Amino acid sequence: MIEDFAGKTAVITGGASGIGLALVRRLGQEGANVVVADVEAGALERTATELDNAGVPNLAVLTDVTDQAQITALADAAEQRFGPVHLLHNNAGVTTVGLAEEQSDAQWDWVLQVNLLAVIAGCRTFLPRMKAHGEAAHILNTASMAGMAGGPFMAPYFTTKFAVVGLSEGLWHEAQMVQSNVGISVLCPAFVRTGIARSDRNQPDTMGGWVVPESQLGSKVGEHLTAGVDAGIEPSAVADAIVAGIREDKLWILTHPESADSIRSRSDAIVSTGKPAQVRNLGN
């Protein structure tokens, strides 16, 4: 269990914006060495400059998390600069919008690669190294309340977030059985003011957009998502919850007061009716 982050080394993917950047800043305040990984070169450079100006020991590593070789290089670079890694936050995430069958192979592949396969690769790369150094360590995977309850028009996103919850719970149980030095947490926020609704800024050139055309409700759902994100909580509040959750060695880190009621309502509906609560028609 990590109780004091001072002098510890943390690696955060998607660390130059949103939740990742908020955690980078918070850990810097806690006295940690921060390794910021991101696919956006400009944002990464700005983050490194901010940390340098604040006197935070840091390393910025341009990283495409869909490339296993780059994840391995990230782990190597972190260890070469600061020594053992104590916290990994698999945080990079994207989304697409549209009916499941109308989203392209490229859209499905992109979301699966960034949101799920990269998380698996991060765990498989860093976990053995953390176990080998033997010091208190922790892995945090970003899922979502979209990994606790499904909905329409974002099937690739829901698929990956449910899978990240399952992966994290599986790793947690394994850690309990072998009395591992590595704690496991999964972050399940609701709406947060991040750039997730502008995922297209990092999409592959060949993908052709992140929203299925308006005739299939794509644009309207995209607008709904953007409005929800804009009305969400600040990333700094999520960072506070993360630090508290890791110190308390929680598996699930929930960030919104209403999340507990949402989970209970979903469970009750499934047990009593065999169906989750129906989401209102976003096309209206």
> Any idea what the CATH number is for the domain that residue 250 is in?
3.40.50.720
Which pLDDT score is estimated for 204?
A: 84
Q: Which domain holds residue 111?
A: 9-259
Residue 40 inside a domain? The answer is yes
Total number of domains constituting the chain: 1
Q: Quick: pLDDT tens for 43-85.
A: 999 999 999 999 999 999 999 999 999 999 999 999 999 999 9
Active-site residue set: 157
Give the percent of the chain with pLDDT over 90.
74
Residue 44 inside a domain? The answer is yes
Lowest model confidence (mean pLDDT) among 86-95, 155-164, 213-222, 269-278: 213-222
Q: State mean pLDDT over 193-211.
A: 78
Residue 284 inside a domain? The answer is no
Share the mean pLDDT of the chain: 91
Which pLDDT score is estimated for 191?
A: 87
Q: Pick the closest to residue 18 from 123, 144, 122, 131 (CA basis).
A: 144
Task: Give the 3-state DSSP-derived string for 2-26, with helices as H, strands as E and coil as C.
Answer: CCCCCCCEEEEECCCCHHHHHHHHH
Residue 124 inside a domain? The answer is yes
Provide the CA 107 distance to its chain's centre, in angstroms. 18
The residues facing 98 across adjacent strands are: 154
Which pLDDT score is estimated for 281?
A: 43
Residue 205 has pLDDT above 90, yes or no: no
CB neighbours of 187 closer than 8 A, spacing ≥ 6?
Answer: 19, 91, 140, 141, 142, 143, 238, 242, 245, 253, 255
Which pLDDT score is estimated for 213?
A: 66
| Total-model pTM | 0.93
Residue 284 has pLDDT above 70, yes or no: no
268-to-158, 168, 169, 252, 264 alpha-carbon distances in Å: 20, 23, 21, 19, 6
Residue 280 inside a domain? The answer is no
Residue 212 inside a domain? The answer is yes
